[in-house]
Structure 1
Amino acid sequence: MGFHPEWSDISSWIDRSERVFVKKLSRNDTSWADDARNGHQNGFFIPRPVAESDFFPELKNTNPDKPHIFDVEYLTFWPASGEVRTSRIKYFSMRNPGNKEKAKPRYEWQHTGMPKEQFQGLSPASLLLVGKFKREVAGTAYWFVVVDSVSEEAEILETAFELDADFHFDLFDPALLGGPASATDQLIAELAEAIKDGALEQFIRRQALPSPETLAAMAQAAWLEENGSNDMSPFSVAQPGDAVMRISRDIEYAIYKQAEIRFRAAQVAKILLHGGGDPVANLVRGFSELDSIFLSAAQTRKSRAGLSFERHVERLFRDGRIRYEAQAVFGGRRPDFILPDVKELNEKGDAVIVSLKTTLRERWKQLALEKPLGAIFLATVDDRVSGEAIEEMGRNSISLVVPESLRNPRESVYAGCENVMTFKQFFDDEVKSKRPSLIVAL
């Protein structure tokens, strides 16, 4: 199993828990494991709202000489390695307690006593799961699992817990996972009624996934209404990158999931209830079809994310009256956008190339290999990019464009990187200030 369990293992521990704490790990939460100079910390920080809840064991002052420090020792279980650890939570309620003039509240909860190797070499924005058992296991009431942000398990976890684009931490009740009960109950009732009335085929035919264009339009309309806006011009929207990230990763995905469960449930029902036969027999005989359905579902989700990002960025160009050409082919290449167009790129070599990647991994290297003529900007909503990758992009003259809220969070490594800018900076500086001719005058 290694130090990072598969989702089937993680899911089994979630099912045995009364509550689960999920935290996106900051650099301070993991740097101690990779750098011996940070050995004084040896753990992660517990956010104040979680620390002040009743999730973790109660802390007490065990040293009367230091009344500002509260702590507790307790046993923790780490399924990835199968070990039980003696962990400790320490709360520092005051800074400079011995100096009346400088003393002030601190509100810091530090969790230590954890296996160092499970926190080593993690990608930025990895996740920590802590479950509180319904019943003790191996004499412990809590289990801990670390999930690397670039793993498949992280993607499944984000879907299962419906983690928003701006997620940092929260407590969850496992019994409430799996989507709104009302929508699920309504679908169950509709399917049951269709089966009872002999109208399953008609029900199935009515289910369909919206086209990418329809999904994008619905999500953009919802965002505009939510924000009381008339358009998505990047020059009037305060944080255009955050807007695109929220529309794509939260609003549109929520709309898509509602349609997906109806569509896929109808497909599965058709196989299991085929010919009015035994569902178990139909399950076995139709396994290959079911496997294809779920494989198609996973592939459709991934392709939807890329198409979604592209359409929402294009809306920024369109509403900002920015001259662009989408998916133009030149020299065997096809970048997402060229500002203003291929003709100017070929004739003057002074155009702007904007490539989009929802997740980067190693795919950005293709841009470096192609060496196109214009300035290269790579836009992403990925907060898991390593510092080494950003430096390598800089050496290849690639500027990274990220949502505003990702520029300086503790979980990412974008802060301080010269070749990283926000969407707002890209539109204001690289387009409006440096290349005003790209904007069509009214």
Structure 2
Amino acid sequence: MDRTCPRELAGLSRKFKERGITMGFHPEWSEISTWVDRSERIFIKKLSRNDTSWADSPKNGHQNGFFIPRAVAESDFFPELKNTNQAKPHIFDVEYPTFWPASGELKTSTIKYFSLRNPGDKDKEKPRYEWQHTGVPREQFKTLSPASLLIAGKLKQAMGETAYWFIVVDSVSEEAEIIETAFELNADFHFGLFDPAALTTPAFQTDQLISELSQAIKDGTLEQYIKKQTLPSPKTLAEQAQTKWLHENKAGDMNPFSVSRPGDAVMRISRDIEYSIYKQAELRYRAAQVARILLHGGGDPVANLVRSFSELDSIFLSAAQTRKSRAGLSFEHHVERLFRDGRVRYEAQVVFGGRRPDFVLPDIKELNVKGDAVIVSLKTTLRERWKQLALEKPLGAIFLATVDDRVSKEAIDEMDRNSISLVVPESLKKAKESAYDGYDNVITFRQFFDHEVKSKRPSLILPL
């Protein structure tokens, strides 16, 4: 049963609309962050196919909700479940009100847990670790991209009838990227509980930077300090991240034939380790730039802020653009490291016919003479940019490597029709949140190196 939104909740929704923030089913980060700030705890889940397929197909209409992971269900985030039907002592449930800001709806939701399987099941005495959450707005779960996010909050103070809010964020939206950054969601993230108060730079990094800037100002050496702060080049950043991964895994190299899951290794290095290193460098670099503007000439910081606002705006715009371009460059360096350590013959960034794929195996000469070479292109995020690869089809086998888990079934089918094979990290191939499982034209990095290189094209590997 749905209820009318309480006055306070309705008022907040109205404020967002008045400010020009479109609620719809695609809330902007400014709205989401407002709810995060009001919460004492946050729950985020990367939605699986089972969490959303019911909304798109009438065959699964009975589900009407998502599943809560055991670790979260057994925490104190959600209301406590109780047995409300003595005739079925194995069923525990709770009914409670939830607010959905994207549509302004207050829903009566239910969490249900079946502690044992159905009486007719073969393993009926075996516990079932599934908590089903129903009573949600169906429209908000429709036509979502794979690996979309559900973000929920437990409010510090209840508003009206409820203390819980839920927002669904499509994985291809800018807000999903912001959430991944703000909550530091790793490449292998599936779900988690978060303390909003902890969403800041680690104290020791902040304190050290404050101390250094303060000392430079006191000594009159701010300009010299600022000049020393630089962003590492993509190559340097990649090498630092690879070195850290090798140390963590006690490995001597990144040979893809000896690393058990080379795709997962590349994903971990590029999306987690390298990004962490980059953020530390970026904080120091951008903080120094802003400090120079605010403290220019020893003048009033507020006056400098107002007069130099356009310059500050350019700094932060540049920061956002640099992050996006950095991701693509780093992926290329890490895949190249796999080729190099595996002694795979390759040529990088060669130009032919107005095209420039990331790698040609073994080289452009083989591609032009026999047409039996392998083209490997890289895309950290696919979107529609993969379609240009179809033009290269007559020249050799085409493989598109990515660490993107948001590719739709429709895109995979279209790639198959264009004879393009997708190469993905091992964990993403079988992930419940991605659409890759069951497609023959989607292979793992492990399969690419073992089958496509070592087995089918052994001449690509240089002898010891």
Band of TM-score, shorter chain:
over 0.9
- Unaligned 5+ runs, structure 1: none
Moved more, 164-173 or 275-284: 275-284
Distance in 2 of aligned mates of 1:370 and 1:429: 22
Q: Which residue of 2 aligns with 1:273?
A: 295
Of 403, 406, 425 in structure 2, the residue corresponding to residue 403 of structure 1 is 425
SS in 2 for 1:94: coil
Q: Summarize the Cα distance change of 1:101–1:368 in structure 2 as closer, same or farther, 3 Å threshold.
A: closer
Report the equivalent of 2:30: 8
Output one character per residue of 1:334-375: Cα deviation in whole Å (capped at 9) or x when no partner.
000000000110011110000000000100001113435010
1:29 correspondence with 2:47: no
* Separation of aligned partners in 1, 2:212 and 2:105: 47
Q: 2:12: which partner in 1?
A: none
Q: Give the match for residue 42 of structure 1.
A: 64
Task: Say which of 376, 391, 401 aligns to 2:398.
Answer: 376
| Partner residue, 2:77 | 55
Distance 1:5 1:96 in 2: 39
1:216 aligns with 2:265: no
Quote the offset at 1:99 in angstroms.
7.3
Closer, same or farther in 2 for the Cα pair 1:101/1:10, shift >3 Å?
Answer: closer
What is the 5 A alignment of 1:5-154? 5-97=27-119, 102-154=124-176
Q: Number of residues paired by the alignment?
A: 442
Q: Confirm or deny: 8 A CA contact 2:117 2:123 kept in the other structure.
A: no
Q: Label 1:425 to 1:98 Cα distance change in 2 as closer, same or farther (>3 A).
A: closer
TM-score for the superposition, normalised by structure 1: 0.98
Distance in 1 separating the partners of 2:380 and 2:167: 26
Residues 133 and 371 from structure 1, CA distance in 2 versus in 1: closer, same or farther, beyond 3 angstroms? Answer: same
Q: Would you say the 8 A contact 1:123–1:150 is kept in 2?
A: yes
Counterpart CA distance in 2 for 1:349 and 1:99 is 56
RMSD value, Cα: 1.2
Structure 2, unmatched stretches of 5+, are: 1-21
**Aligned residue in 1 for 2:222:** 200
Q: Which moved more, 1:96-105 or 1:56-65?
A: 96-105
Question: Does residue 309 of the first structure (1) align with residue 319 of the second (2)?
Answer: no
2:182 paired with 1:167: no
User: How far did 1:211 drift?
Assistant: 1.1
Asked if the contact 2:254–2:338 (Cα under 8 Å) also holds between the matched residues in 1, the reply is: yes
Question: Equivalents in 2 of 1:120, 1:106: separation in Å?
Answer: 27
Kindly provide the amino acid, as one letter, of the partner of residue 413 in structure 1: A
114 and 149 in structure 1: CA distance in 2 versus 1, 3 angstrom threshold: same
Distance 1:259 1:369 in 2: 39
Q: Secondary structure of 1:364's match? A: helix
Moved more, 70-79 or 276-285: 276-285
**Match among 389, 413, 431 for residue 367 of structure 1:** 389
Q: Is the 8 A contact 1:96 1:104 kept in 2?
A: no
Counterpart of 1:89, as a letter, is: I
Of 223, 229, 238, the residue aligned with 2:260 is 238
In structure 2, C-alpha distance between the alignment counterparts of 1:271 and 1:59, rounded to whole Å: 55
Alignment TM-score, normalising by the size of structure 2: 0.94
Match of 1:329 in 2: 351
Whole-angstrom distance in 2 between the partners of 1:260 and 1:367: 34
Secondary structure (helix, strand or coil) at the match of 2:395 reads coil
**Contact 1:378 1:399 (C-alpha < 8 Å) held by counterparts:** yes
For residues 149 and 282 of structure 2, what CA distance do their matches in structure 1 show? 26
Identical-pair percentage: 80
1:203-251 per-residue CA deviation (whole Å, 9 max, x = no partner) reads 2111111111111111111111111111111100000000000000011
State the one-letter code of the partner of 2:255. Answer: S
| Corresponding letter in the other structure for 1:82 | G
- The 3-state SS of whatever aligns with 1:229 is coil
Flag the 1:301–1:100 CA change in 2: closer, same or farther, 3 A: closer
* SS of aligned partner of 1:89: strand
* In structure 2, distance between residues paired with 1:268 and 1:327: 37
Cα offsets for 1:63-99 (capped at 9, x unmatched): 0000001111111111111111111101110003477
State the match for 1:355 in structure 2. 377
Contact 1:68 / 1:97 at 8 angstroms: preserved in 2?
no
Residue 32 of structure 1 and its aligned partner are, at CA, apart by 1.0
- How far apart are residue 139 of structure 1 and its match? 2.3
